[in-house]
Amino acid sequence: MQAQGMLEMSLSTDVLVIGGGAIGLATALELAGQGAKVTVLSRNFAEAALHAAAGMLAPQAEGLPPGPMLDLCLGSRSLYPAWIERLEILTGIDCGYWNCGILAPVFSAGSDSPSEKFSATSATPSLWLDSNSIRQQQPGLNQQITGGWWFPADGQVDNRRLAKALRVAVEQVGVTIHENLIVQALQCSGQQITGVSTTAGEWQAATYVLATGAWSGQILPIPVVPRKGQMLSVQMPLGDETTQSLHQVIFGDRTYLVPRRDGQVIVGATSEPVGFSPGNTPEGMRSLLEGAINLYPPLRDWPIQECWWGFRPATPDEWPILGPSPYQNLVLATGHYRNGILLTPITARLIADLIVHKKHDPLLEDFHWSRLEAQPGASNFETSAALRK
């Protein structure tokens, strides 16, 4: 399509969502559901962290301390069942949502003894399992595991199925997606964004949403950087009565195992500050395999299926950047780091409500970009080369 054609189309767009990953697509879907005409600009769908993730819904297993980030994550976890149901009804795609619970074994009880580390509430149920109970809960664990925490309300979604469903859903509700273009600059005049220059032409809209994940720092002077995660998967034997099997997520210190219902087990993940350096490395694979076998020895004989990598969008405080920006018509929805899949439903809702209903949910306050203004990687919006006047 010619740039001129796209320009005409963009002029009639209410909201231009920059970024076609989980956050961009879910926000576009929510906006369209609230009556907005939405266009999504996507750099490369296949490279979105959405595909690389394991799909854990793990605010408790991730050990987030009490505070705004835990509240945001718990809020999103509670939206998941109804959000997924709507998506599945709309698309007919089973997203593999599974409220399977997450088990977090420890290798020495020490300070992790019952009742001290995690206090159970109705919103955050948790249970300490001693050495015997944890083996009843999950046979086959390493004999050196002395106990562990059980988080029954954590779970998982199959992020690759979710990716398909989100793509189908946004198209079904009339969102236009333009793929394989790179945003070169945002144009601004005073406190307004007036357009987006891309490798495929210029775009304009009344409101812009930046949801470009690990690539956000290339577009705006905000401190979002890639944090590489390497992953692999193995195939659990199915249908063999004598085989021990995984039926919940196992969340170790540096390695986690996410069993899908079809027997695929995702093993994640490294966390490497290596920029956008691509590829699986021998060291990455070694650490994942060692960690996985150490948690759950039977896995050592299961066939390896696949290995891959992706880039988490990391911020200095590991919290996302959500809500208003220094520009009146630019909204930020990025920097979700380790919790992008989990935070997708709540981000989409908060951002769409902000744009369509001008509703500033109090939840947004702690995630405002200005908290990071003094951080390395953040620079003055006024002098940023990515913002053209």
178 contacts ligand GLY (rule: CB under 6 A)? no
Question: Given the complex with ligand GLY, which of 231 and 354 has the nearer CB atom?
Answer: 231
Q: How far is the CB of 343 from ligand GLY (least distance, A)?
A: 10
Question: Given the complex with ligand GLY, which of 225 and 269 has the nearer CB atom?
Answer: 269
Which residues ranging from 46 to 65 are in contact with ligand GLY (CB under 6 A)? 54, 56
Q: How far is the CB of 320 from ligand GLY (least distance, A)?
A: 13
Tell which phi-psi region holds residue 96, choosing left (phi > 0), alpha (psi between -120 and 50) or beta: left
How much is the CA Rg of the chain, to the nearest whole Å? 21
Going residue by residue from 203 to 242, which x/- string records binding to ligand GLY, judged by CB under 6 A?
--------------------------x-------------
Cα of 136 vs its chain's centroid, Å: 32
Question: Given the complex with ligand GLY, which of 56 and 234 has the nearer CB atom?
Answer: 56
Residue among 322, 338, 369, 372 that touches ligand GLY (CB under 6 A): 338
Question: Given the complex with ligand GLY, which of 178 and 338 has the nearer CB atom?
Answer: 338
- Contact indicator for 305, 14 with CB cutoff of 8 Å: no
167 contacts ligand GLY (rule: CB under 6 A)? no
Question: Given the complex with ligand GLY, which of 161 and 338 has the nearer CB atom?
Answer: 338
- Separation between Cα atoms, residue 78 and residue 71, nearest integer Å: 11
Query: Can you give the length of the chain in residues?
Result: 389
Question: Given the complex with ligand GLY, which of 75 and 201 has the nearer CB atom?
Answer: 75
Residue among 20, 101, 268, 313 that touches ligand GLY (CB under 6 A): 268
Question: Given the complex with ligand GLY, which of 22 and 269 has the nearer CB atom?
Answer: 269
Q: How far is the CB of 82 from ligand GLY (least distance, A)?
A: 22
Tell which phi-psi region holds residue 331, choosing left (phi > 0), alpha (psi between -120 and 50) or beta: beta
Residue among 38, 269, 331, 332 that touches ligand GLY (CB under 6 A): 269
Token pair, residue 107, equals: 């290798």
336 contacts ligand GLY (rule: CB under 6 A)? no
Number of residues that bind ligand GLY (CB under 6 A): 7
Going residue by residue from 18 to 37, which x/- string records binding to ligand GLY, judged by CB under 6 A?
--------------------
Question: Given the complex with ligand GLY, which of 105 and 221 has the nearer CB atom?
Answer: 105
Q: How far is the CB of 56 from ligand GLY (least distance, A)?
A: 5
Nearest to 317 by CA among 269, 374, 270, 362: 374
Residue among 77, 161, 228, 312 that touches ligand GLY (CB under 6 A): 312
Question: Given the complex with ligand GLY, which of 198 and 248 has the nearer CB atom?
Answer: 248
- Separation between Cα atoms, residue 221 and residue 16, nearest integer Å: 19
Q: How far is the CB of 63 from ligand GLY (least distance, A)?
A: 12
Q: How far is the CB of 226 from ligand GLY (least distance, A)?
A: 12
Edge-to-edge strand list for the sheet holding 38-41: 176-178, 38-41, 15-18, 207-210, 330-334, 321-324
Token pair, residue 112, equals: 């992790």
Which residues ranging from 79 to 108 are in contact with ligand GLY (CB under 6 A)? none
Question: Given the complex with ligand GLY, which of 254 and 388 has the nearer CB atom?
Answer: 254
320 contacts ligand GLY (rule: CB under 6 A)? no
Please name every residue paired with 227 in a beta bridge, in sequence order, or none if there are none: 312
- Separation between Cα atoms, residue 336 and residue 319, nearest integer Å: 6
Residues of the shown chain interacting with ligand GLY in the complex, contacts defined by CB under 6 A: 54, 56, 229, 268-269, 312, 338
